[in-house]
Amino acid sequence: MIKNIAHENNSNEIPDIYGKVLELLNQDNSNCELMSIATILLDPGKSSTLHYHKKMEEIYYIVEGKAEIRIEDEVQNMHSGYAILIPIGALHQIKNTGANTLKFISIDSPPFIEDDTYFS
Domain count, the chain: 1
Positive or negative torsion for Cα 71, 76, 80, 83: negative
In a domain, 99, yes or no: yes
pLDDT of 116 higher than 90: yes
- Residues spanned by the domain of 73: 30-77+89-110
Higher pLDDT, 13 or 26: 26
pLDDT of 85 higher than 60: yes
Angle at 95 between CA 115 and CA 27, to 5 degrees: 30
**Mean pLDDT across 20-48:** 91
In a domain, 15, yes or no: no
Whats the size of the chain, residue-wise?
A: 120
In a domain, 49, yes or no: yes
pLDDT of 7 higher than 80: no
**Mean pLDDT across 91-99:** 97
